[in-house]
Amino acid sequence: MDFDGWAAMTVLTEFLQIDKVRGGVFLSHLNVLLHCCQVQLSASSPQNRGLFNVLYTQHPGSLSGLQALSKMPPKLVAEGMIQILGQTANSVVYAVADDSDTGRARDSVSVLKGGTVWYRGREALGPGQSAEESDERARKEAEIYEALGKHDRILNFIALEVADVDEGMEPKAWALRLERAPHGPLRDCIVSSQANPPNVQTRLEMAIQFAEGVAHMHRHRVIWGDLSTRNALLFDNCYVKLGDFADSDVVDKYPNDWYGCEVRYCPPGSARPNNHIVGTVNREIFALGTAIYEITEWKVPYGPPVEVLEDEVIAALVDGKLPEFNGDNAAEAVIRGCWEYKYKSSQQALEDLQRLKGNSIRHNVGGVESLKLLVLNGLEYMKRLFLWSKT
């Protein structure tokens, strides 16, 4: 059976339900879905894992959102007027042609993030959140960006887009305008370049950049909440900035017994991994350790969702399993320090990462570049272990 265009979205949705991908599909570019629609495949085909591989990027969205996107006028997408870049259960990130010099959405230097796709700020196309929901979430996230201010490791917040959405009502915020990251989420890059990862020095530098952003947030008493490489954006020269603060809040307002990250970033030991008794800052530092792990190991903890589903990750957590290291990792001591709650702040973890970089030497053996860090066997490392043993 040939899947054809937008009508195939319903079939894809049913397929995903059969494949037991509960609660969401991973999508970023709408043209990926359109490509899938041209593949000859039945819902019961043994190739279903291959279809999910095509659908998989790293923007967890909802099945209902996929159905809503299927109702969007295809002409606007086909003609390049709208480009869908990412979707979650609560928001969609997209670009519009009006924001580019070429008249094509793909060339816009900024993106819009809101509860639904708005065409020229006047017509809501879907997936649908009410104007009130969109307004509340957009204003809350804008407050976080404003609290963080301009910083090299934070995505540039340009403006809060506000319009008279409903006649006779107060103007509503319908989207955040943000700078565009030309290379998308860091998680996507990690998944797509498994066979050819950056050298270890570059990965360490990217981990440092990530930690710099988290430390900046914590200095401003902001809890990220959904700390993940999914929400780190990649620019030229492996430059990393952090974004997506929809689930963020100031420390005093963030729940003290629940932490909203993906299960892959949760500590082992519980079948309800988002609940905790260790304190919110500790949970965020644990998640920071997992992000450093993912970047330096260049692999998704417990395996990518296309291979290891959430239920399997939770089972591993119940069994007390942490992500496994492949051979030597120069940052392992820092990562384990985060996982074991030995750091009192993200700034301490950042300083140890920076110390690793400062004490590193690089070797080239047979054309294969590796990183040897003197600190791992040096007095500094032993001193750190000694101090931790006394706490």
Q: Is residue 11 scored above 60 in pLDDT? A: no
134 pLDDT band, cuts 50/70/90, is confident
Whole-angstrom distance, CA of residue 10 vs CA of residue 240: 36
Task: Round the average pLDDT of the chain to a whole number and report it.
Answer: 78
User: Tokens representing 90?
Assistant: 């609560």
List, in sequence order, the alpha helices (H) in 56-106: 63-69, 74-78
Please compute the mean of the pLDDT values over residues 187-202 and round it to a whole number: 94
User: Which has more confidence, 168 or 100?
Assistant: 100
Give the model's pLDDT for residue 388.
54
Paired with 160 in beta bridges are 176
Confidence at residue 180, expressed as pLDDT on a 0 to 100 scale: 97
Task: Band the pLDDT of 33: cuts 50, 70, 90.
Answer: very low
Who wins on pLDDT, 52 or 273? Answer: 273
pLDDT value at 43 more than 50: no
CA distance 59 to 54: 13
pLDDT of residue 34: 39
4: which residues sit within 8 A by CB, 6+ positions away? 37, 38
pLDDT-derived band at 208 (thresholds 50, 70, 90) equals: very high
Q: What is the pLDDT of residue 74?
A: 65
Q: How confident is the model at residue 358 (pLDDT cuts 50, 70, 90)?
A: confident
More confident residue, 366 or 388: 388
Q: Where are the domains of the chain?
A: 5-179, 186-389
pLDDT at 245: 97
Mean pLDDT of 195-214: 97
**How much is the pLDDT for 10?**
38
pLDDT at 79: 85
**pLDDT more than 90, % of the chain:** 54
Q: What is the residue-wise DSSP string for 108-144?
A: -SEEEEESSEEETTTEEEES---HHHHHHHHHHHHHH
What is the rounded average pLDDT of the residues 310-328?
A: 94
pLDDT digits (tens, 9 = 90+) for 45-58: 333 333 333 343 33
Note the pLDDT of residue 73. 58
Does the pLDDT value for residue 361 go beyond 70?
no
Q: What is the pLDDT of residue 49?
A: 36
Beta-carbon contacts of residue 111 (< 8 Å; ≥ 6 apart)? 85, 93, 94, 95, 177, 178, 179, 180
How much is the pLDDT for 387?
53
pLDDT given for residue 360 in this prediction: 65
Q: What is the pLDDT of residue 163?
A: 85
Q: Per-residue pLDDT tens for 101-119?
A: 999 999 999 999 998 888 7
11/42: higher pLDDT: 11
- CATH superfamily for 186-389 is Transferase(Phosphotransferase) domain 1 (1.10.510.10)
